[in-house]
């Protein structure tokens, strides 16, 4: 669980850090991608937990 949580945070920082140099539309697309990834990871974590 902790590994997935840390991986989640690292991905978020990588994507958000890279997005700052680009325009707003790409920034929004990357944010959406990360959010979807986080939701999928959270769903997997919950399914494994319970």
27 vs 42: which has the higher pLDDT: 42
Q: Select from 4, 3, 33 the least CA-distant residue to 18.
A: 33
- Helix boundaries (H) for the chain: 2-19, 24-49
Evaluate if residue 35 carries a pLDDT over 60: yes
Output the pTM of the full model: 0.38
CA angle 30/16/2 to nearest 5° reads 100
pLDDT at 43: 82
Q: Do 34 and 14 form a contact (C-beta atoms < 8 A)?
A: no
> CA 50 to CA 7: how far, in whole Å?
21
pLDDT band at 9 (very low <50, low <70, confident <90, very high): confident
């Amino acid at each position: 669980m902790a590994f997935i949580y840390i991986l989640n945070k690292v991905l978020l920082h990588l994507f958000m850090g890279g997005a700052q140099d680009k325009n707003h539309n790409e920034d929004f697309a990357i944010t959406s991608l990360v959010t979807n990834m986080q939701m999928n990871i959270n769903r997997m974590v919950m399914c494994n937990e319970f």
